[in-house]
Chains A and B, each alone.
Chain A
Amino acid sequence: DVKVTQSSRYLVKRTGEKVFLECVQDMDHENMFWYRQDPGLGLRLIYFSYDVKMKEKGDIPEGYSVSREKKERFSLILESASTNQTSMYLCASMPYLADGLYEQYFGPGTRLTVT
């Protein structure tokens, strides 16, 4: 079974802190994604990566950066956390397939609270 793990289920940080959210997948997938989920807004894509050291902005990249130094690990960084970044953060991975089947495998999520 594909496993996507996230470093924390719950995290509380203070405004202005630098925050790292880590995601690791064990299936050698090329593609990895970071989403945030807020009530009434559904899932929104922050960043994605289709290869090591490659990244693409999603719909809401402002206030975030990412790092992909190894294939299995995709990190989301909040340079200076703000209260409007309080949210559920979901990581996903997906293999590259010639036919492009979009089966993304999601982690359990990290609920981040910024106070």
Chain B
Amino acid sequence: DAKTTQPTSMDCAEGRAANLPCNHSTISGNEYVYWYRQIHSQGPQYIIHGLKNNETNEMASLIITEDRKSSTLILPHATLRDTAVYYCIVRVQAGTASKLTFGTGTRLQVTL
């Protein structure tokens, strides 16, 4: 699986957009980009995934560059409850179970 690089930490003011970058320069053509987050004292939670098109759901938007070497998770209007560690994961889509490799993620602090 391709390795990902994320900043260790970021701050964002409440109500502003939080843009979390992820570099995955060795991604291959059949690998998807997944984002999870982990709020303090809870297990990780799936947010969104994509292959090459931009994706949006009720939680966030995922922007993947045309060369697919990097992506950005966007929380359009961050709230204090979005304070969490965000993990960017690259994984082949496969039929049987296989592991997700979580790195150390980006710690997002949303402030008043």
Contacts and interface: CB of A to CB of B under 8 A. Distances in A.
B43 A102 contact: no
Interface in A43-64: 43-45, 48-50, 58-59
B104 A58 contact: no
Contacts of A76: none
B68 interface: no
A53 B34 CA distance: 29
Contact of B102 (A42, A49, A108): A42
Interface in B68-112: 87, 89, 91, 93-97, 99-105
B13 to A, nearest CB: 27
Nearest to B100: A102
Interface stretch (B14-22, B44-52, B59-67): B44-52
A57 to B, nearest CB: 10
B42 A104 contact: no
Given A43-B44, A108-B43, A109-B43, A101 B104 contact: no
Interface of B: 32, 34, 36, 41-46, 49, 87, 89, 91, 93-97, 99-105
Given A41-B104, A42-B105, A43-B102, A104 B95 contact: no
A94 B97 contact: yes
A90 B103 CA distance: 15
Interface residues of A, number: 32
A24 interface: no
B99 A48 contact: yes
A22 interface: no
Contact of B100 (A4, A30, A104, A107): A104
A30 B97 contact: yes
Nearest to A101: B49
B43 A92 contact: yes
B96 A104 contact: no
B104 A102 contact: no
Contacts of A94: 97
Contact of A100 (B41, B94, B101): B94
B25 to A, nearest CB: 20
Nearest to B47: A103
